[in-house]
Every structure is written in structure tokens, then in C-alpha cells.
Structure 1
Amino acid sequence: MSSEVRFTDFKSDKQPTWCPGCGDFGTMNGMMKALAETGNSPDDTFVVAGIGCSGKIGTFMHSYAIHGVHGRALPVGTGVKLANPDLEVMVAGGDGDGYSIGVGHFIHAVRRNVDMSYVVMDNRIYGLTKGQASPTSREDFETSTTPEGPQQPPVNPLALALSAGATFIAQSFSTDAQRHAEIVQKAIEHDGFGFVNVFSPCVTFNDVDTYDYFRDSIVDLADEGHDPHDYEAAKEKILDASKEYQGVIYQDEDSVPYSELHGIEGNMSEIPDGAPEDAMDLVREFY
């Protein structure tokens, strides 16, 4: 860990408003520890969030931040990173924000492989709007709006990422503090888009996917001798719906981030008289 950067440097003076016991506390702590361990500081870190219980995480952390709109955190984070490649960009979201309204942006962010990290707090429910089923809720999960369950299989975000060409896919458990921070750190250090789906239990509205459930169910890939560079082995784990895996599931060692692939250098925010033609070509390519 850098002697100049501490975990506490990323703590805001604003107190989180999450429910006592919410998994998001552990998720955020792991993010801050990972940033400190990689030597980043609040002055070179930019946190982007969307809507949901995770949405105000930029307020609860001390760094540059944007609280965006529902499902749109990833394109904002992409713009920040390409405009200023010197920033460490971390996008935070929830399963509703990222895998429902934002799922299109998720797939295309994976495809572009911009060098940033994406941490999703997956509690398998819409917590902020009082407990509706989310894209990752179980097929038989009963809520006030789905009294007989969603009656459709849950979205597998890891499979979506792999099929879209992800170069880094991982999963962690917010309460397993050290392991969670290690996994997020690896996502930050990855050259490209580092995606981490985090089991982050909702203690208020989800009495199925609880802390006890994950403690009893999680299989750590580090204990199984899993090789994250083996694509076929990663695919097998990702498609195995019978287990809840933790660890780096897939990492492409030959990953080339978008900016390097397209020769994007320098801080666009310092250009005084508008974007140069090559930057406008980049905008046209995106839109």
C-alpha cells in the first residue's frame, strides 16, 4: 500500500444513509481500500453512479464524483475517462440500474473495453423503491408487485459480459472484506474494463438472498485452483447456476484498452479552443 494514500482518505464527511446492516457499506469500504492499495488518491479518482441505493456513493466517498441518471452511469464514466485518461474512473451501480434500464450501456461498455472499473452492488431487489423484483431476482421471488414471483429466469450478468467480449469478469461478497477489496483491486489494475458483480445483501426487503445464504453458498475460486485465463473454464463457471462463485472468473492477459487501441492520449479538458478533429471523430464513432 502506498505510504502516502490511506483508506480513510476516501472517507467523506457525509454519513451514508443506507439501512443499518446494508451490504453496500462493505462494498464501498472495499472500493476505498482497493483505491488506496493501488496508490490512487482522491485527487485523481472519479466516481460515477446512477440511481438506486448505490446512487449517492459519490457523496459518501471523498473524490471527484457525478450522481448521474438511471442506467446512464457507464456512458458518463466512459466520457470522463476518455476526456482525462489520467483519472482513475470507477463506476458504481446496482442490479436494477445496470442490468435493466442500463443493460444496453453495460454491453457496449464491455465491448469498448475502456480502462475503468465497474462495481455493481447486486442485492437482487429494488431496495430504494421498496422491494420490487429486479433483473437478478429469483424466478419464484415473491414481492408486492410479483406475488407469484417474476416467473422468468434471472439475468446472468456474468454471461452477458462474457458474450459481449469482456476482458475482466469477477464476483465478490461485500462482507468478505479482505477478499472483496482484493478482487476490486485486481479490476482497477486490469488494462481495460474491470467488471465486478458484488453480492451486497438488502437486509430490509430481501429475506432470501441474505448474509447467511451467501456465507453458506459461496465457493471461492481461489480454493478450487481455477485459472481465470482459461476462457472455457470461465464459461463453465459462469453458466453453472448451481453455485455462487467468488473471485476473478475471467481475465484476458492480452487485453488492450480502448484508448491505447485508438491512440487516445492527453487530457481533452485542457484543450482551450474546442476539440480537435481526431476527438470529433471519436465522438462520431460513439454516437
Structure 2
Amino acid sequence: MNAPVKFETTLKDWETDQEVRWCPGCGDYAILKAVQRTLPQLGCDPKNTVFISGIGCSSRFPYYMESYGFHTIHGRAPAVATGVKLANPDLDVWLVTGDGDGLSIGGNHMMHVLRRNVNMQIMLFNNEIYGLTKGQASPTSREGTKSPSTPIGSYDRPANPCSFALGAGARFIGRGFDVSKNLPDVLKAAHGHQGAAFIEIFQNCIVYNKDVFEDFAAPKGAGDRQLWLEHDKPMLFGDPKTGFDKGIALDRENLALKVVDVVDGDWEAADVLVHDATNRSLAHLLIEMPFGPFPMALGVIYDDPAPTFEAAVVEERAKSAAGKEANLAKLLAKGQTWTVDAAEGHPTD
């Protein structure tokens, strides 16, 4: 695989002439712009970039990116993306899916692309509802969610996308939300990671699940409800204007996290944890923090690279081909063969 070459592009170079067809106010618009603004900063080449999606509102994404793209079938985008990456490992592959597409019918395929560690960016738009098929409860819908498929309220325990990814063996896990100014930073970190980079993006469905994330995404008081993680930085949150006055510490007796007060900015005295993005156990604790007593963990939660699947496949191919002649005719004639006698109409040895 060759080293990437930096290209100079602008946001306009990544916009297509297609009419963007999402509901007015949909969070997908903000995610689209975040990606289109981020790719020029990364020096990506539209001719070397591929967006692959499954089915759902989020999966219209490839139509709106001026690059190569493939709108595939329900839940199978990870399998198609894996094939694309194996066919040409130098391509920059982005996989776009939703909570229904990626965690319901596509859960099996998602698991395998993560455990294999195929080098691509996986953006899972989580709006906690089936938007395209008119608002049924999805695998991530909260308990009590009323919808056409759960008219008296869902009693399913919702899936946690990041927990799923971590359990499947993902080596990069990030979180953001549609209108956050920090989302491009998470996308850049994911792109810089060699391997399967999983990003859960909370996305507001304006029609069927409006403002379900306002409890932590609303601008007013966001500092107290959002924990933006940075590697080697203390886990602080609170009002940034007055100074972060809270932090996350380890309750050693119960091997759990806890919220502590930070007085006069002295986070060390409060025993606030410093984020280690390579620590899988810490990532698990952060992903499972219950929102309410804790802030929502956002940013790069886990980043611990490992050898990629396609690199191993390329190496295996090279070893298998070493010292061998590429001769199709010889290959076809190898082994048991016979000749069809046209006059007799049957084969003869």
C-alpha cells in the first residue's frame, strides 16, 4: 500500500449537483457539511475516496459526495466495503450506516468488519428510530419509546453502539453529535487511525424522534453534560467560561467511575483521571457511564491500532504468488481434464 498523497481541495470540490433530500432540519445535513469540510483539511483526493452505505436516511450520503460511492443493500454495507478495500487497499473507504441498518439486520456484518480490523472509517448515525420507514422503534430506541411498532412504549433494552463495537474488537471508538463543532476533530482522528474506526454520531430526527438528544446536546449548559475526551488530558467538564469545576475519578473500592468536584482548577488534588485512549478497560467504563449522574462521554474514547486485515491479505497474496508464473491456460489445463468429441457428442479421456 502506498503512502497517501495530500491533495488541495475545498468544500465545493466535495459537493455534488444532486438535490439533498432529507427532511428540513434533519441532523444529516450538519453531518454532511462536517464531512465535506473535514476532507479538504485531511488532503483527501475525491478520485481515491469511496463512500459506501446500506439502507436508511443516512445511506443517501454517497449521492451527495463528489467522490466514488455505492448505495448498497440493507445491512450489507460492511461486506461490500470490505470487498472494495481488499480489491484496492489504497482506496480511502468511508462506511455510512444508521442504528437500524448497522445494528439490526446489519449487526452480523458490522461485527465482522470490526473484528477483522479492515482499514476504513465507519460512521453510524444514531437517531434512535427508524426514520426512513416512518418511525418504528430501532435497536437503540430508549425504553418507553412510543412508535408505530411500540404503540404503548418500547420495553426492549436499547443497544449501546459503542459497547457493541468494543465487544466486537474495534480498535478505535469515537462519539460525537450532528451539530457539534468538535465532530470534525473526531473524524480527523478516525481517519488517522490505521484500522476500522467506529464513530457513533448522535443525529436528530426532526420528524419521528425530535430533540431526543437535547438532554446533553442543547447548547445551554452543555459544559455540565458533555465530557469531551482527549488523550493525555484530564477528564474535566463544567462551564468552560468559569473554569471546569468537575471531573471524572476512579472509585477504587468499587472499580467504577465517579464525579468529583474540582476546586480552584486543582484537578490533581481531586484525583481526576487523565484520559488514556489506549486503555480498553477505561474505554469500557466511559462508554457505559449512565447519562444523568454522569456527563455524556464524547470525542475519541478508544484508539489503540493493530495490524489491519487487508495488510495481512496483501502479504498472503504476495507469498502465494512468489516464484509462480501467471499462466491462465496452464491453470485451466491443470488437474483432471477431458476432451469433448464433437462427432460422438460425448467426452473421451
TM-score where L is the length of structure 1: 0.87
Pairwise CA distance, 1:231:
1.6
Contiguous gaps of at least 5 residues in structure 1: 267-271, 278-287
Query: What residue in structure 2 maps to residue 197 of structure 1?
Result: 200
Is 2:54–2:75's contact at 8 Å kept on the other side of the alignment? yes
Pairwise CA distance, 1:210:
4.1
Query: What residue in structure 2 maps to residue 183 of structure 1?
Result: 186
TM-score where L is the length of structure 2: 0.72
Is 2:117–2:309's contact at 8 Å kept on the other side of the alignment? yes
Pairwise CA distance, 1:221:
2.1
Is 1:50–1:97's contact at 8 Å kept on the other side of the alignment? yes
Pairwise CA distance, 1:214:
2.2
Pairwise CA distance, 1:256:
1.3
* CA distance in structure 1 between the aligned counterparts of 2:210 and 2:60, rounded to whole angstroms: 24
Q: Give a deviation string over 1:217-268, Cα, whole Å, max 9, x none.
A: 4332247242211222111011223242210111114x111122343489xx
Paired amino acid for 1:199:
F
Query: What residue in structure 1 maps to residue 64 of structure 2?
Result: 60
Is 2:85–2:310's contact at 8 Å kept on the other side of the alignment? no
Query: What residue in structure 2 maps to residue 221 of structure 1?
Result: 229
Q: Which has the higher contact order (CA 8 A, sep 6+)?
A: 1
Q: Give a deviation string over 1:70-122, Cα, whole Å, max 9, x none.
A: 10111111111110111100010111000111000111110110111100111
Query: What residue in structure 1 maps to residue 288 of structure 2?
Result: 239
- 1:187 counterpart SS class: helix
Matches within 5 A, 1:116-135: 116-135=120-139
Matches within 5 A, 1:55-204: 55-177=59-181, 179-204=182-207
Which of structures 1 and 2 has the bigger CA Rg? Answer: 2
* CA distance in structure 2 between the aligned counterparts of 1:172 and 1:151, rounded to whole angstroms: 26
Query: What residue in structure 2 maps to residue 19 of structure 1?
Result: 23
Q: Give a deviation string over 1:13-61, Cα, whole Å, max 9, x none.
A: 1121101111111112222223222211211100001110012111111
Indicate the structure with greater helix content.
1
Q: Which moved more, 1:223-232 or 1:40-49?
A: 223-232
Paired amino acid for 1:238:
I
Contiguous gaps of at least 5 residues in structure 2: 1-5, 236-273, 319-325, 332-349
- 2:314 counterpart SS class: coil
* CA distance in structure 1 between the aligned counterparts of 2:167 and 2:153, rounded to whole angstroms: 27
* CA distance in structure 1 between the aligned counterparts of 2:7 and 2:92, rounded to whole angstroms: 18
Paired amino acid for 1:127:
G
* CA distance in structure 2 between the aligned counterparts of 1:66 and 1:3, rounded to whole angstroms: 23
Paired amino acid for 2:126:
D
Structure 1 pair 231–213 and aligned structure 2 pair: CA distance change class (3 A): closer
Question: How high is the sequence identity, in percent, across the aligned residues?
Answer: 38
Pairwise CA distance, 1:212:
5.9
